Amino acid sequence: MLSSWMLVTAVLVTSAGGASHEDDTQPCAKVHTSSSAVPLGSPVTATCVIRKDCLLVTAQAAPIEWRLGSDFIPSSPVANERFRVSKVVVSSFNHTRAVLTCGVCLPDNESSFQIYAGVEIRAGYPPQIPQNLNCQANFTYRPTLTCRWDPGLQETHLPTKYTLYTQIWDLDKNYTYELPSGVHHYTIPRSNFVLFSEMKIYVKAENNLGEAASVPIILEPVGAAKFDPPKIRAITADPKRLGCLKLAWRLSQNQEWMYFNCLNLQVQFKAAGSGQWSDPL
């Protein structure tokens, strides 16, 4: 079942200029929010603070107004000797992304809204637990171990980072691989795994709203390898064993180095003209 709540994050995106004297480096107006993350459906409180000596607004006697996108939001003034302050409450935020701004309507044109400051609000979901984590070794000239996973069916609507963690028990070594947002696979270089040593592997998803880790898997890279099909070199009758065949085979060129290790092979056969293969031997 999908989560029944979302969170929002607020980031300052613009502010009005025009300060004077020692406060030249300070913006004329700022928007402060009650929190950078709140549940969807909960009220979001924001305050617009405008310096009274701001050249941009000293001539404007109109009350401060608020917009969420292009929609007007009722607000209330707050008493303050040094600043013009307005407070607004968004009763329910249900956008995945929107801009909340404060400003005034110009006296000579009420349809013209002059923005002083604002925040961009983004909404999304916490990440789901990564599913179907699996890793497969590739025994080419330079062996690698590639791990993949599914992020889940629910779109988070927010940048979500994935981190792959590995632990080699025999060597007591741990490795961490941080991936860019939206990437759901990683190829581990040969230097960071041992062919015949078991490894513990899991992946963790993180965004501004939370984190979730997959169920760990335990594997030995050789046991998780996909080999190229062996090439049959010859099939001959065994003169010393009645009714037996001798099979000569070889691995692919990229995997010939595996001859020096213990390998288990399965052989299947079928009679000429038959579509039925034997059970693996």
Top pLDDT among 260 and 227 is at: 227
Asked whether residue 22 falls in the same domain as residue 117, the answer is yes
Which pLDDT tens digit goes with each residue over 131-148?
Answer: 999 999 887 767 889 999
The number of helices, as runs of H, and strands, as runs of E, in the chain is: 0, 21
* Structural domains of the chain, count: 3
- Report how far residue 102's alpha carbon sits from residue 79's, in angstroms, rounded to the nearest whole number: 17
Residues 33, 116, single domain; the answer is: yes
pLDDT score for 135: 95
d(CA 22, CA 180): 43
Residues 164/200, Cβ–Cβ less than 8 Å = no
- Alpha-carbon distance of 177 to 162, in angstroms, equals 9
With respect to residue 90, please indicate whether it lies within any of the assigned structural domains.
yes
Q: Is residue 178 part of a domain?
A: yes
- Clarify whether residues 104 and 29 are in a common domain: yes
Q: Is residue 245 part of a domain?
A: yes
Q: How far is it, in rounded angstroms, from Cα 12 to Cα 4? A: 27
Question: 221 and 140 share a domain?
Answer: yes
Q: Tell me the pLDDT of the chain averaged across its residues.
A: 78
Given 92, 124, 156, the domain boundary residue is 124
Residue 272 lies in a domain: yes
User: Is 2 inside a domain boundary?
Assistant: no
Are residues 77 and 91 located together in one domain of the fold?
A: yes
* Statement to judge: residues 210 and 238 lie in one domain: no
Q: Which residue has the tokens 């909404």?
A: 123
190 and 245 fall within a common domain: no
Q: Quick check: helix, strand or coil at residue 255? A: helix
- Domain of residue 238 covers 229-281
> Which CATH number characterizes residue 174's domain?
2.60.40.10
- Which amino acid, residue 176? T
Q: Domain boundary residue among 124, 155, 182? A: 124
Stronger pLDDT, 32 or 166, i.e. the higher one? 166
Residues 215 and 252 in one domain: no
Residue spans of alpha helices (H) in the chain: none
Query: Which is more confidently placed, 146 or 20?
Result: 146
pLDDT at 237 over 70: yes
> What is the b/e burial string over 98-132, where b = at least 16 CB atoms within 10 angstroms of the residue's CB?
bbbbbbbbeeeeeeebbebbbbebbbbbbbbbbee
* 1 found inside a domain: no
- Say if CB 263 and CB 256 are below 8 A apart: no
Same domain, 215 and 237: no
- Looking at this protein, which amino acid is placed at residue 108? D
Domain boundary (104, 124, 144) is at 124
Claim to verify: residue 218 and residue 233 sit in the same structural domain: no
Q: Is 30 left (phi over 0), alpha (psi -120 to 50) or beta?
A: beta
Distance from C-alpha of 204 to C-alpha of 178, rounded to nearest angstrom: 10
Domain contains 279: yes
User: 139 in a domain, yes or no?
Assistant: yes
Q: What phi and psi, each to the nearest 5 degrees, are found at residue 236?
A: -135, 155
Same structural domain, 67 and 84: yes
> Given a cut of 90, is residue 78 above it in pLDDT?
no
Are residues 92 and 118 part of one domain?
yes
Say how many C-beta atoms besides its own lie within 10 A of residue 271's C-beta.
9
8 A C-beta contact, residue 117 and residue 15: yes
Which whole number is the average pLDDT over 112-116? 81
| Cα 18 versus chain centre, distance | 40
Instruction: Note whether 231 and 205 are within 8 A (CB).
Output: no
Measure the CA–CA gap between 16 and 53, rounded to whole angstroms.
13
Whether the pLDDT of residue 1 is over 50: the answer is no
